[in-house]
A and B are shown apart, each in its own frame.
Chain A
Amino acid sequence: MIRQCAILFGCLALGELLVWLTEVKLPSSIIGMLLLTLFLKLGWVKLHWVQGLSDFLVANLGFFFVPPGVALMLYFDVIRAEFWPIAIATVVSTLLVLVTSGWVYQLVRRAVGRPGQKR
């Protein structure tokens, strides 16, 4: 467990370091995720070194959103003032993103279609 924490937080800290050094406008957690993938690919980190903790964290990802969600109570006034524009725009746009990225993936996949290869 300690090794697992050391690796995950190590990747996060490296992400923080890269953000600090390059001032890139990306969150350290995303960079840490890509670093972890890279280290696994290079074999520097073995899968079983991180699998237990990462399975637990991924499976419970939603729970960690509860406190930022509770922060909604701070914005009731702002949201009430412009409720319909916010709600309608958000719902419409979220559904459009879901459908667009799914369709574009399926269309391009079919169009590329890798000739000479079995499906």
Chain B
Amino acid sequence: MTPVPNPTFEWMNQSRQWGVRVKPGKKGLTLGSLNVGIYGEIPTEWHDQTRNPRGAIARKGMPPVGYAIREKAAIWADCAADLYEEAIQRRWAPATDVPWDTIEPLPDDVERAVCQVCTELSQYANVDIETISSWQHQMAYGYHEVKQFLATATFDAGRHYEVFRKRALYNGGGLGLESPGEVNRMILESRGGWTEAVTYLFLLRGSYAMTILRYLERFAHNDAERFIYGHVIQDRARHMAYALDHLKYSIAHVDAQSTVLATLLFIGDRLFARELRDPVMREALAIIFGGGVEGARTHGMATWEAMMREFMARYEGACEWLRVPRAPDRIPEEMRRFLPEAA
């Protein structure tokens, strides 16, 4: 075996743009700051099927890896690079950052409700993980900022899966009943494209989950729960920011995309409404908001209804911002009754 062949140095002096010197700014040397010169040219379509880094010279003749998502409009969001850096700066560890010792025993009905909600939220995180990770490897390298941001999103979701499980198993309870799964399946089956997955995973389910978490934070029983809900909100807010930015970009660049999204939501709302008929999550939340089963029957359920009104305002507000046409009379009754104008 020849240890190292005689050098040819043929690889030298082969760069599309030399002399680049990006300096760290006040947030350090960020991913977005690297987008200078040709390195910041983000093409509308990315034809390269290898892992050629954007801006490097491609090696000709290499077999394709096989990326399905190669159009900017199918993936892009301008904020992805900044969200990536923010996610890294705001990292946290459930094992050591949550003040677990602030958790005290709760009344049995309340503990059961908390454990049920944690079971459901853990399952939401599972859907986040399975949905995003099933798309990641299909995304072309030319849009690496999005791939990298989504790596933080699945990392966040893994942490959410873990932290809700830990809470359920910490205070004398256990895991509750699994989810009905209809909305989970809908999200996972959004195979038409990444944009469609984003619509269901973030715009619909994400808006709902964020609203639940905000209410849970208000009704937290101790600092540990307050920390958990607050930090999951912070993580999910980044996911939502990417989603809305991407959907806006997609609508602006893909013909009739807003009507496609309207159709998706028309279908998605029906499945979502069917799942709302299931009492488990509603009652568990009402017990938490009402301080127990008795309180759930009155002000707990009233608070749940207020939460649903806030959810619908958030959800419809996002649709309006995106200019996705929505006809109130086509929204299922289970959701329509919480629209602001229905109050």
A, B: real partners: no
Chain B residues engaging chain A, CB cutoff 8 angstroms: none
